[in-house]
A and B are shown apart, each in its own frame.
Chain A
Amino acid sequence: MLAHIPSALGKAEVTRLRDALGAAEWEDGASTAGASKIAKRNSQTPPDSDLSRKLGAMAASALLASPAFVSAAIPLRIFPPLFERYEVGDRYDPHVDNAVRGDAMTGARIRVDLAATLLLSDPEEYDGGHLIVEDIFGSREFKAQAGDVVLFSAGSLNMVTPVTRGVRLSSFIWLQSMIQSDEARDLVCDLDAAIQDLAPRIGGDDPDMRKLATVYHNLIRIWGEA
């Protein structure tokens, strides 16, 4: 899975998050980096702070309101989103995200199937800071608009190139999907896209549409964990 979801968050939501982040404390981003501590150089909001929690909840509910995000991720559990800041010289060298994450406050653990980066800065605001994700078809580079989400398999090697001007703000999100297998999840997402394409053309109540909807739900029944 590698998806670029434009405008997952609207401009107003992005502005609200950025305004609130103006008052945030920042700590060394290495605190959540596991073994890839040395690779990571940036700042992030402390995971346990009230502001992190509040803004994280806002970001998570905005993502869950995005049909494109839900269709691609088929989310089961979302780890409280954190916010990060890359200033000049900051970077995150190639790494793979941890497989399992425990939330220190609740003890809840998730299997990290997918990682998402929600951009909060527009590309004009900074130089460098490209997100690069290694996928089965090769390496892809993203420099997306504020409000866009890049969703990728947490098992993919990923990096953020050094920022050479300005500041890059983003939120990063780990989640467990109802469908663990990338291949199976992609297939279900593709089926949904075909259904969304056909519905306005032949009518949602067409017998073929009902059959495709049945296939969609039965695939989730076969593969889904709830």
Chain B
Amino acid sequence: MLICIPEVLTRQQVAFFRETMANAPWEDGRATAGSQSSLVKNNLQLPQDGAAARELGEHVLEALANSPTFVSAALPHRIFPPLFNRYGVGHGFGLHVDNAIRGVPGTSIRIRTDLSCTLFLSEAEEYDGGELVIEDRVGRQEVKLAAGDLVLYPSTSLHFVREVTRGERVASFFWMQSMVRDNVARALLFDLDQTIQSLSARLGAGDPACVKLTGIYHNLIRTWAEV
């Protein structure tokens, strides 16, 4: 399941992020890349233990927790501290798959990367190229969203960021372990939740069928969740 969620950050938040990032030091993006992906990664990142990444990362986590669609689609268990990258002209990130397990630096916490997320911080008009391209068995999905929007997709996919040919693309990216590991099961829960939301708006949340469906939703989570 690939899902785009609009307006996770407000315009004001995006402006604050951009300003903070403009004044921060950057390092080579290969600092967090695995052995295969370091060969194809060509961009800059905020150092993950730097003040800017830490502060902005907290804001991202807060915004995610306030997005019901994100929570419903991802059912996050642990989210890796968000990272921030910058692609100038000539930068790109070739085809790669994300590492399966990520250790959170400075802690003993390890995360199985079930889902990958890119939160766009530049407007699409500000740069050419820079699309996030996600491949599956039947083809490619190209994603280029407005600043403040995010895309969430299974980490199992091969993906790349097309070379930027004009302007600059900044974004936040991170991985997470979901409470529900199986992509099919998680997508089913998302569909069920969205249907319950729709039916509750139409029939009232107290309608017996809505109450029953809500019970089923929670019992499915109880069946599948690891916490």
Chain A residues proximal to chain B, CB less than 8 Å: 183-184, 187, 190-191, 193-194, 197-198, 201-202, 208, 211-212, 214-215, 218-219, 222
Q: State whether A211 touches B184 (Cβ < 8 A).
A: no
Cα-based distance from A214 to B202 in the complex (angstroms): 20
Q: State whether B212 touches A215 (Cβ < 8 A).
A: no
- Shortest B212–chain A CB gap in Å is 4
A187-B216, A187-B220, A214-B191 given; A222·B198 CB < 8 A: no
Judged by a CB distance under 8 angstroms, whether B2 is at the interface is no
Q: Point out the residues of chain A lying under 8 angstroms from B223, CB to CB.
A: 183-184, 187
Judged by a CB distance under 8 angstroms, whether B194 is at the interface is yes
Q: State whether B199 touches A198 (Cβ < 8 A).
A: yes
Q: Point out the residues of chain B lying under 8 angstroms from A219, CB to CB.
A: 188, 220
Q: State whether B191 touches A215 (Cβ < 8 A).
A: yes
- Shortest A74–chain B CB gap in Å is 15
Interface residues of B in 169-227 (CB under 8 A from A): 184-185, 188, 191-192, 194-195, 198-199, 202-203, 208-209, 212-213, 215-216, 219-220, 223
- Looking at B194, B199, B216, the one whose CB has the most chain A CB atoms below 10 A away is B216
Q: State whether A198 touches B209 (Cβ < 8 A).
A: yes
Q: State whether B216 touches A211 (Cβ < 8 A).
A: no
Q: State whether B195 touches A212 (Cβ < 8 A).
A: yes
Contact of A190 among B195, B199, B202, B212 (CB under 8 A): B212
- Shortest A14–chain B CB gap in Å is 32
Q: State whether A208 touches B199 (Cβ < 8 A).
A: yes
Which are the 8 A-B pairs with shortest beta-carbon distances? A211-B195, A194-B212, A194-B209, A197-B209, A198-B209, A215-B192, A208-B195, A194-B213
- Shortest A53–chain B CB gap in Å is 39
Contact of B216 among A190, A208, A222 (CB under 8 A): A190
Cα-based distance from A218 to B191 in the complex (angstroms): 11
Q: Point out the residues of chain A lying under 8 angstroms from B208, CB to CB.
A: 197
Q: Point out the residues of chain B lying under 8 angstroms from A218, CB to CB.
A: 184, 188
- Shortest B211–chain A CB gap in Å is 9
- Shortest A18–chain B CB gap in Å is 37
Q: Point out the residues of chain B lying under 8 angstroms from A212, CB to CB.
A: 192, 195, 213
Q: Point out the residues of chain B lying under 8 angstroms from A201, CB to CB.
A: 203, 209
Cα-based distance from A60 to B191 in the complex (angstroms): 36
Name 8 A/B residue pairs within 8 A (Cβ), A-sorted: A183-B219, A198-B199, A201-B209, A211-B194, A215-B188, A215-B195, A218-B188, A219-B188
Q: State whether B188 touches A191 (Cβ < 8 A).
A: no
